[in-house]
Structures are given as C-alpha cells and as structure tokens.
C-alpha cells in the first residue's frame, strides 16, 4: 500500500484514498467536514511530552525522529495500524494519506511515520 503525506489544510482530493489524521491535537480552525478524514489515529501520534519537547525546533529534529521511532516501536496501536494497511478493508483505496497540521512540510511527525510504516511493511 502506498503511503502519502499531506498537510491537512490542503484541499481534499479523491486520489488521497484513505485519509488518516495523525496529529494528537485537532487542527486549528478546521471542522470535521473540512478535514474529510476516514479515521483519526491520535494514538500513533508523538506523545504529548515528546511533542512539547520538540516544539518544531529544527535543532531538535534528529533527536525527535529517534525518540518518535522508539515510541512507535513500543506502541501496540502503531503496530496494529501498520498491519491494517494490508487489510481487505483498505484494498479498495488507491493509497493511504497521512494528514498533519504542522507548517514545516519536511520535518514533522507524518514524515517519520511514513518512513516507519514503509520499513514496517517491508519487514512483514
């Protein structure tokens, strides 16, 4: 299954496939209808402690990635979500799109999660 990432503030497109909000907090200024998501997986988002520590500080990015991957590896919800990507439920969708709210499109949790899911899929 192809896993894409997209900023939640970008318009919905049918080609997004199965849309998963991966932030722990609801994105500011958006209604549920505008987000147009299939599921909100806040349980696989970075912990509140890690999110607050990182604070989108570019100097902390490398350490954030390591800590978040460690959280994902220890998180049964993340393992269950990774397994769900190959389920018949998602077979009807062309891809999975991870939605995030961060302004930084290169250094955010969805980038880390996308890489983790891809690696997890190869291991399975």
CA neighbours closer than 13 Å in the CB half-sphere of residue 108: 17
CA distance 18 to 63: 30
Q: How far, in whole angstroms, is CA 103 from its chain's centroid?
A: 14
Predicted confidence band at 9 (pLDDT cuts at 50, 70, 90)? very high
The full DSSP string for 41-66 is -GGGSPPHHHHHHHTT-GGGHHHHHH
Q: Is the pLDDT of residue 120 over 90?
A: no
CA distance 19 to 4: 9
Q: Output the pTM of the full model.
A: 0.93
Residue 123 has a pLDDT of 62
CA distance 116 to 7: 18
CA distance 60 to 15: 33
69-105 pLDDT per residue, tens: 999 999 999 999 999 888 888 888 989 999 999 998 8
Predicted confidence band at 41 (pLDDT cuts at 50, 70, 90)? very high
Residue 24 has a pLDDT of 94
List Cβ neighbours of 37 (8 Å cut-off, separation of 6 or more): 19, 20, 21, 99
14-35 pLDDT per residue, tens: 999 999 999 999 999 999 888 9
């Amino acid at each position: 299954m192809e896993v894409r990432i997209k900023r939640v503030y970008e318009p919905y497109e049918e080609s997004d496939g199965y849309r998963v909000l991966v932030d722990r907090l609801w994105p500011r200024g958006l209604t549920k209808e505008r987000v147009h998501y299939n599921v909100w997986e806040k349980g696989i988002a970075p912990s509140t402690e890690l999110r607050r520590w990182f604070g989108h500080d570019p100097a902390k990015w490398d350490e954030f990635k390591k800590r978040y991957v460690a959280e994902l590896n220890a998180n049964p919800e993340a393992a269950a979500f990774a397994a769900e990507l190959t389920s018949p439920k998602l077979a009807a969708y062309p891809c999975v799109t991870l939605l995030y709210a961060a302004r930084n499109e290169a250094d955010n949790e969805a980038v880390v999660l996308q890489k983790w899911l891809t690696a997890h899929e190869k291991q399975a």
